[in-house]
Amino acid sequence: MLFSEACERNKQPIAEALERWLPRPARVFEVGSGSGQHAVHFTRQREQLHWLPSERAGQLAALQERIDREGRSQQAAGSHLADAVALDVTTGPWPPGRFDAVFSANTAHIMPAAAVPDLVAGAAALLVPGGLLLLYGPFSDGGRHTAPSNAAFDAHLRSLDPAMGVRDADWLTLLASRHGLQPRADLTMPANNRLLVFAAAGDAAGDDGLWA
Ligand SMILES: C[S@@+](CC[C@H](N)C(=O)[O-])C[C@H]1O[C@@H](n2cnc3c(N)ncnc32)[C@H](O)[C@@H]1O
């Protein structure tokens, strides 16, 4: 199975942030679920959480392996981890239905810069009124890195592929605003990461039965 040390370190701080921000019940779509460690952990920690993970087609089988092995046991009361669906943000297909939140961790700096607007646009289109876009990872501010480790990471990524790189929170905020999402929070997380929270206009709809 795919395994991420970083996921093991950051999954509980992220879970605690989600606990504060997600409604209950909550339907969440995840973009770029990777190893699936976040999806498994969150649905074991939090009650009434319906989580739909996704990955690009080439990585989907590895993600589904973890879901099959770990995602069917020890789920919190009323929580459910769905089978993963294939999604490349540049081509879709985005899932049907509406979600209380779209979560994505450590994806914006990996996907090409040209794909990041697709991530934000696709996510915004899935949200219920008042729904949240939650982006976790390292982000710069106004073109400045917030820590030397993030600057080094950015340089490393760009040396591998100039299209990769740590994204700027101001740019993400601009992209979000183009799709009606307003910044609601910028949470400081361990290891110089952040959780950016953007909200769609309107009041959260609650459980409207749209989850399939
Ligand atoms: C560093 S991993 C993060 C995985 C997991 N979210 C985590 O935090 O450990 C980056 C993920 O972004 C995904 N990704 C890259 N480009 C993508 C795209 N165009 N559409 C969807 N996912 C993409 C990759 O498949 C990969 O799983």
Place of tokens 């959480």: 49
Secondary structure (3-state) at 173: helix
* Protein residues whose CB sits closer than 6 Å to any atom of ligand 1: 4, 7, 31-35, 55-56, 59, 87-90, 105-107, 110-111, 115
Q: How far is the CA of 88 from the centre of ligand 1 (A)?
A: 9
Reported as a single tens digit per residue, the pLDDT across 176-202 is 999 999 999 999 999 999 999 999 999
Which atom of ligand 1 is least distant from the CA of 89? Answer: 20
- Label residue 210 by pLDDT band (50, 70, 90): very low
Is residue 207's pLDDT more than 80? no
Out of 1, 111, 193, give the residue to mutate to test ligand 1, the one with the largest number of ligand atoms within 8 Å of its CB.
111
Distance from residue 119's CA to the centre of ligand 1 (Å): 11
175 touches 139 (CB < 8 A): no
Q: What is the pLDDT confidence band of residue 204, given thresholds at 50, 70 and 90?
A: low
**Interval 33-37 mean pLDDT:** 98
Percentage above 70 pLDDT, the chain:
96
**pLDDT-derived band of residue 1, with 50, 70 and 90 as boundaries?**
confident
Ligand 1 pocket test: pick from 64, 107, 164, 193 the residue with the most ligand atoms within 8 Å of its Cβ.
107
Strand duo 139-140 + 99-105: pairing: unpaired
- State the pTM of this model: 0.96
If pLDDT is split at 50, 70 and 90, which confidence band does 209 have?
very low
Task: Give the Cα separation of 53 and 93 in Å (integer).
Answer: 13
Residue 212 has pLDDT above 60, yes or no: no
What is the arithmetic mean of pLDDT over 62-82? 97
Domain 5-200: give its CATH code.
3.40.50.150
What's residue 208's pLDDT? 44
The residue with tokens 């990041």 is: 116
For 168, phi and psi rounded to 5 degrees?
-90, 135
